[in-house]
Amino acid sequence: MYNHKFLVSKSYSFLVVFTFLFSCFATLNAQDIEPRRWTPIPLGVHVIGGGYVHTFGDLIFDPVLQAEDVTIAIHAAALSFVQPLKVGNKLGRIDVLLPYADAKWDGLLRGVPTAIRRTGFSDPRVRFSINLIGPQALDAKGMLDYYKENPNSTMLGASVSVTFPLGQYAEDRLLNLGQNRFVIRPQIGFVHNWGLWSYELTASVFFYTINSDFFNNQERKQDPTFAIQTHLIKRFKNRMWASISAGYGLGGQSIVNSQPNNDERGDFLSSLALGAPITKRQSVKVFYLHSESVKSIGSDTNSIGFGYSVMF
């Protein structure tokens, strides 16, 4: 005779494993390191960009879940558009991001080799930002004059982004590229410039709506995630720049059918980035990002990537 409690426990452990895998992909897409996030863009300028990032690493599980040697590999590309705008006498901007990903998970689940792969569009994001303290809504010449007159300056900005549930998603799959829920992210950032140096500090919180079409008609909730990131940036007279960055994210426990999964994340991020102009209106960026879990479950990953942007 089968032990009903054992079967329930076994089924629940299986669900926790794959819910965690889902959370890993969602977390990798959500938490970021973004130096020069609050750099003002003059009125009359439009920016189109594209980028690629390869993320790879290990997923760490509680041994009782019987998931071992689990790795993740993601190839992701994205298109972006940035439009500055005037809000009263303040300088604002709209950012739009459209990501596409190829993700693969490999490992042993109860000793059985298991591999899952997904390819398609992930959830797009739209973000509105405004400079509360700093240069007002200026054109390119006015912005240049502002920096000449204020070599040492302080800026304060605020933003809110919304990630829309439009990515690839199927209710009969535990792992999807889309999250089938909105993610709302308020953010506030501080920047101090002195000469060719800048220091940035940004705090964020991620709020998640309910996914009522989670695997097998279940309901998935998630607690907020809190994140902070800081950057030290050096600019050069030839318009190159380099940055060293660090960040930390905490929270985000998932709850399936009112059952907490005890999968709160705690991730420390560090990054190096380098940007360089190609022409007066074109530039490239390369970066390396390391993410490491400080919890008993989590992920240790590395990311390398590059981006290209053009102003017109």
Work out the pLDDT band at 105, boundaries 50, 70, 90.
confident
> Are 255 and 262 a contacting pair, CB within 8 Å?
no
Confirm if 73 and 104 have CB atoms less than 8 A apart.
Answer: yes
The highest-confidence range among 68-72, 112-116, 267-271, 295-299, by mean pLDDT, is: 267-271
Beta-bridge partner residues of 155: 191
Q: What is the number of alpha carbons within 13 Å of residue 240 lying toward its C-beta?
A: 7
User: For the segment 229-288, what is each residue's pLDDT rounded down to a tens digit?
Assistant: 999 999 998 999 999 999 999 998 889 899 888 888 899 999 999 999 999 999 999 999
Q: From CA 78, how far away is CA 124, in angstroms rounded? A: 9
pLDDT tier at 85, thresholds 50, 70, 90: very high
- Per DSSP, helices labelled H in the chain are 4-30, 140-149
pTM for the whole thing? 0.88
Place of tokens 């700093």: 134
Owner of token pair 């889309």: 178
For the chain, the first-to-last Cα distance in angstroms comes to 72
Q: What residue has token string 């303290």?
A: 133
Residue 191, pLDDT > 90, answer yes
pLDDT of 174 reads: 76
The pLDDT assigned to 18 comes to 53
- Domains, the chain, in order of start with CATH, read 4-311 (2.40.160.40)
Q: How confident is the model at residue 88 (pLDDT cuts 50, 70, 90)?
A: very high
d(Cα 141, Cα 200) in Å, to the nearest integer? 24
Longest dimension (CA), the chain: 82
pLDDT of residue 304 exceeding 50: yes
Mean pLDDT of the chain: 88
Mean pLDDT of 170-183: 90
